[in-house]
Amino acid sequence: MASFLRTPLFSVDLSISSRIDDSLRMSASSSLRVRRPGTADLKVSGSVKRNTCLIVQASKEPLELTRELREKQKTTFEEKNDELDPFEELKPRFLNFKKRVYLENLDHYQNLAEGQAPKFMVIACADSRVCPSNILGFQAGEAFTVRNVANLVPPFQHGASEVNAGLEFAVNSLQVANILVVGHSRCGGIRALMSMKRDDDTRSFIRDWVSIGKTARLSTEAAAGNLSFEKQCKHCEKESVNTSLLNLLTYPWIEERVNEGTLSLHGGYYDFTDCSFEKWTLVYRQCLEGGSKYSIKNRSFWS
């Protein structure tokens, strides 16, 4: 068999090269065998001129396409290199933290490296404006924190989620003494909950998640349905915290520890429009006066 002519896409068998020359002189048709490397032979029949064009086109177009793509990639990379890397802003912040916080409290951080024993578990919203460590000044090791859209706690029957996984670890393993659920002003998750149409069957991750707070929405509509939508949302932002506190009691190991007096449940509300904070504690007992199991105590307002 004669040598092979290779192109970017095909290898061509030239064993019939002498016959091609004769065919060109005689203007006769011939058979040209075109083969992909590593695959079965594919026969293409037709005039030699047509096959020659096929080979030239197959060899030229991929080269032009590759060159064009490389030029586009080069331009794209050059444009990206001109942009400011957002991590360049984080680097000096980290180095400042290391110098002014970590190294100045080295003993504390070395102790934390051996294990944590936080007094609080905090459930807060994922909203970038309401970081609980910034608002309440939690230091490293003081609060085991879970954040999600609208700071919701699903009931025990809801199934696995990052919230109940965090609850199980914080209560049963870390044995925190306090769980604090923090709501906040102008919460997008609560607004989505209050905006849902009753007859809308549209499914989405956000809709399915915020539906956990539908009890808070119903309570809000009953108590504040005559108010403006904005005021209803604010009412629901606080009411959803209470709904989450009650949902905490659907977890058997949380209810048990609350009854034992080794775990307390607290609600909080941060209003970033005027930088104020409201705090309260849920009281739960099997036999409270009047037959109710729930009441609120130690309500305070910080501004």
Q: Domain residues of the chain, as ranges?
A: 4-81, 84-115, 117-302
**What does the block give as tokens for 66?**
């590759």
> Are 238 and 213 within 8 A, CB to CB?
no
- The CATH-assigned architecture of domain 117-302 is 3-Layer(aba) Sandwich (3.40)
> Are 273 and 289 within 8 A, CB to CB?
no
* Residue 131 marked as a ligand binder: no
Q: How many C-beta atoms surround the C-beta of residue 247 within 10 A?
A: 23
Query: What whole-number distance in Å separates Cα of residue 153 and Cα of residue 191?
Result: 17
Q: What angle do CA 265, 181, 239 make, to 5 degrees?
A: 95
Q: Summarize pLDDT for 71-95 with one digit per residue, the tens.
A: 666 666 555 566 788 899 999 999 9
Q: Summarize pLDDT for 227-284 with one digit per residue, the tens.
A: 999 999 999 999 999 999 999 999 999 999 999 999 999 999 999 999 999 999 999 9
- Higher-pLDDT residue of 26, 107: 107
* Residue 275 marked as a ligand binder: no
What is the enclosing helix (H) or strand (E) of 34?
Answer: strand 30-35
* Residue 125 marked as a ligand binder: yes
**What does the block give as tokens for 118?**
């936080």
Q: Summarize pLDDT for 185-233 with one digit per residue, the tens.
A: 999 999 999 999 987 778 899 999 999 999 999 999 999 999 999 999 9
DSSP SS3 for 191? helix
The secondary structure of 43-79, three-state, reads EEEECHHHHHHHHHHHHHHHHHHHHHHHHHHHHHHHH
**pLDDT surpasses 60 at 176:** yes
Query: What whole-number distance in Å separates Cα of residue 267 and Cα of residue 278?
Result: 8
